[in-house]
Structure 1
Amino acid sequence: MGAFDAIRPYDDAEVPAVLARLLADPAFLDTLTHFRFPRLAGALGWLLKPLIAYRLRREFADVHTVALLQDKLENYVDHSIEQATDGVTYAGLEHLRHGSAHLFLANHRDIVMDPAFVNYAVYHAGLPTPRVAIGDNLLQKPFVSDLMRLNKSFIVHRSISGRREKLAAYQLLSAYINHSIRDDAQSIWIAQAEGRAKDGDDRTDSAILKMFHMSRKQEPFAEVIQALRLTPVSISYEYDPCDLAKARELYIRASTGSYTKTPGEDDQSIALGITGYKGRVHVQFGTPIQQVPEDARQLALAVDQQILGNYRLFPVHYLAYAAWAEREPALPVPEAEQLFSTEELAKAKAQWQKRLDNCPAPHRPYLIGQYAMPVRNQYRVKAGLPL
């Protein structure tokens, strides 16, 4: 048994057996049936499930490597993007060195689509897709774990409660990330902080940066980080399909002091994040950090300068900022009318009003804050003000 077997993605030799297991899994087939035929799944599920399994077995019969699987999945990803976005743009790929692995550290708004859009950009640029960090809290069903690990995901154990067990889990995670980049020459995607930034405030957790160093503590912090080629990535959504649910959660937390997820809530967020309307999406790859400070907090600030500074602001962000009770009058933020055409702004105003109308009044300040926060952060970066 290998040192990383408990968390690593599946390798090529495992692909056929895992695919066969998936296509015989009743829970997986039931989920696919409800997703593909929501109105018929209840009454005709007994008929549809074997038909779906048969079709998938034929479609994936020649898939025996991870690369071939990703080639097959590309059509599904492209279709999803066409259906749920008004287009995806990406920039900064010239910063990536061909033949070198990178540690992509990204802001986190959507459970599945954040790494999917990074993969989309890298794949279409002809570069190898990264291995993707995913929390074990999202892998409650065995078929979900199989699906994710087939698609180059590795597991971050977040459900462990004991201090010693947590330390061992993060030590293993650190060793795996370093091994992937230094030995396997395979890039890594990981979020800048645990959990999605539901309030729109994209900040790097210095504990994540310290974790990268944990398995190589005998070496200087700056040298370890530099060897990983840490590259900040900004993922910008014009509209967040989960924005109303996030506003509700923030309201409940503010009102009661806590929030407890209902069973299946993560599954609903994943489905809505994949299928919900996002408007335009932009992925900006920053420059790999060369001058690495020895202090993790200073490094977090350097990462934030890029992630926040490179975030693509759409008209809705400026509309929200203008209505935000916490906006900062001293910041030189222009009006939306100064930046966007009349036609583009009219479309944004209609979509924004629709979202406001669908949001209960007590939740609206939290909805507005989600879209306004990136404006404040970016203009603070531009003005050289502390974040």
Structure 2
Amino acid sequence: METSLMNASPEAFDEIRPYRDEEVREVVERLTKDAEFKKAILRFKFPKLANSLLALPLAWLVGRELSKRLAKINTIHDLQVYVESYMAEMIANTTQGFSVEGLENLKADESYLFISNHRDIAMDPAFVNYALHVKGRNTVRIAIGDNLLKKNYVNDLMRLNKSFIVQRSAKGVRQMMAAFNLLSRYIHHSIKEENHSIWIAQKEGRAKDGIDRTDPAIIKMFYMAEKKSGKSFGECIAGLKIVPVALSYEYDPLDIDKSRELVQIEQEGHYAKSEFEDITSIAQGIAGFKGKVQVAFGQPLGKNYADADAVAAEVDRQIRQLYKLYPSNYLALEALNEAEDFTIPTFDARTKAEFTQRLATCPEDYKQQWLKLYANPVKNYLGRL
């Protein structure tokens, strides 16, 4: 007899779930009074004044402006409609075009488990959500690691925007297994009981080297909730309606930062993040130039999979095929002299000049790694990684 994980009350997921509509006003009011949140806005909008004598009156003005702008935010939908205008503005100002493929193959009234490659902390799920929203589809609930939620205001902001928490900081085997089991149950509950889609990255952390690979441990976590249900592994996978998603950026706003980190790890064996590095990365990813951006949705996985490795391989295969290769990818491969027997497409002088100018902004010590970041998707597509 199947054990129903869905018998759990909604309160069972309070520790990790997104906020509900009835909680929105309280959280919004809390944010407008949060001193750290206002200080973070000051640092972003007025970096030269954030530590000056004007900081206190400016923080008061920020709080008043927040209260005014968020006065009509009473539900999660209200917030996402509010955010939509900023997304449209961001796309207009930081990209040279945003395209969506494959969504027509997915049913509008069904929920899915979207597994995507991971290049940007905030923009990956934001672009997926925007692609769904402009087509009249429901947006997703977003898996986010608790390592990004060290500040109370960040926790509130993320959970207001339909994020749920992946408890990566759990210590010890027993605590980690309990956290993964709760996460697995929540994903099943969201998709099957609440008909609400989920977005999750294919592995922990961004693919800073441009190589997209699915961690089989993520797939094993999905299965945990139904391990004792009597269902086969394949049936469990089919029931989740897993859809691979490929996010392709012509240019990465954090390409130099990622290259520097990888070079430092290679030379020194480790890399230590600064206190506000993740928050800075989020802001830089939002505001930085991205060139063309594409979100491509794949086909839902069926039940013919024996284990997590087989599922991971299929997700990788689809993402590899869906990934949009841009001139930046081909020109980086050419610059590395690794084209071998592969013919690089021909690009106009303007496109080449743009790439050359971008490369010139990278410090000499990191250029080789920078080029690899852009070239690796081509090598991955060709099966050379």
TM over 0.5: yes
CA distance in 2, matches of 1:161, 1:248: 30
| Alignment partner of 1:17 is 2:26 | yes
Amino acid at match of 2:145: G
Match 1:231 to one of 243, 247, 253: 243
2:3 counterpart residue number? none
The secondary structure found in structure 2 opposite 1:236 is strand
| Alignment partner of 1:145 is 2:148 | no
| Alignment partner of 1:246 is 2:258 | yes
| Alignment partner of 1:38 is 2:37 | no
The secondary structure found in structure 1 opposite 2:236 is helix
Q: How does 1:306-325 map to 2 (within 5 A)?
A: 306-324=318-336
Amino acid at match of 2:181: Q
| Alignment partner of 1:366 is 2:366 | no
Amino acid at match of 1:268: T
Shift of 1:334: 2.5
The secondary structure found in structure 2 opposite 1:105 is strand
- Cα-to-partner distance string for 1:91-144 (whole Å, 9 max, x where unaligned): 111122111100000000000000000011001010110000000111110000
2:270 counterpart residue number? 258
The secondary structure found in structure 1 opposite 2:295 is strand
Amino acid at match of 2:306: E
Shift of 1:81: 1.8
- Cα-to-partner distance string for 1:343-371 (whole Å, 9 max, x where unaligned): xxx23322322232222323222111110
Shift of 1:157: 0.8
| Alignment partner of 1:181 is 2:196 | no
Match 1:68 to one of 78, 83, 87: 78
**Contact (CA 8 Å) 2:234, 2:302: kept in 1 or not?**
no
The secondary structure found in structure 1 opposite 2:294 is strand
Amino acid at match of 2:164: F
Q: How does 1:270-349 map to 2 (within 5 A)?
A: 270-324=282-336, 327=338, 329-330=340-341, 333-337=342-346, 340=347, 342=348, 346-349=349-352
| Alignment partner of 1:206 is 2:209 | no
CA distance in 2, matches of 1:77, 1:258: 35
Shift of 1:328: 6.2
CA distance in 1, matches of 2:87, 2:51: 26
CA distance in 1, matches of 2:135, 2:301: 21
Amino acid at match of 1:36: K
CA distance in 1, matches of 2:278, 2:68: 31
**Contact (CA 8 Å) 1:180, 1:186: kept in 2 or not?**
yes
User: CA distance change for structure 1 residues 171 and 291 in 2, over 3 Å: closer, same or farther?
Assistant: closer
**Contact (CA 8 Å) 1:114, 1:235: kept in 2 or not?**
yes
Q: How many residues align?
A: 373
Question: TM-score scaled to structure 1, two decimals?
Answer: 0.93
CA distance in 1, matches of 2:11, 2:367: 50
Amino acid at match of 2:57: L
Measured on the aligned residues, the alpha-carbon RMSD in Å equals: 1.6
Amino acid at match of 1:105: I
CA distance in 2, matches of 1:268, 1:59: 23
The secondary structure found in structure 2 opposite 1:63 is coil
**Contact (CA 8 Å) 1:7, 1:154: kept in 2 or not?**
yes
1:156 counterpart residue number? 166
1:196 counterpart residue number? 206
Runs of 4+ in 1 over 4 A off after TM superposition: none
| Alignment partner of 1:50 is 2:47 | no
Question: TM-score scaled to structure 2, two decimals?
Answer: 0.93
Any gaps of 5 or more consecutive residues in structure 1?
A: none
Match 2:234 to one of 222, 242, 257: 222
Shift of 1:291: 4.7
**Contact (CA 8 Å) 2:210, 2:377: kept in 1 or not?**
yes
Any gaps of 5 or more consecutive residues in structure 2?
A: 1-9
The secondary structure found in structure 1 opposite 2:207 is coil
Worse-matched range after superposition: 52-61 or 187-196: 52-61
CA distance in 2, matches of 1:37, 1:249: 27
The secondary structure found in structure 1 opposite 2:226 is coil
**Contact (CA 8 Å) 1:292, 1:299: kept in 2 or not?**
no
**Contact (CA 8 Å) 1:241, 1:273: kept in 2 or not?**
yes
Aligned residues: percent identity? Answer: 47
CA distance in 2, matches of 1:253, 1:69: 39
Worse-matched range after superposition: 349-358 or 28-37: 349-358
Shift of 1:65: 0.8
User: CA distance change for structure 1 residues 45 and 230 in 2, over 3 Å: closer, same or farther?
Assistant: same
| Alignment partner of 1:104 is 2:82 | no
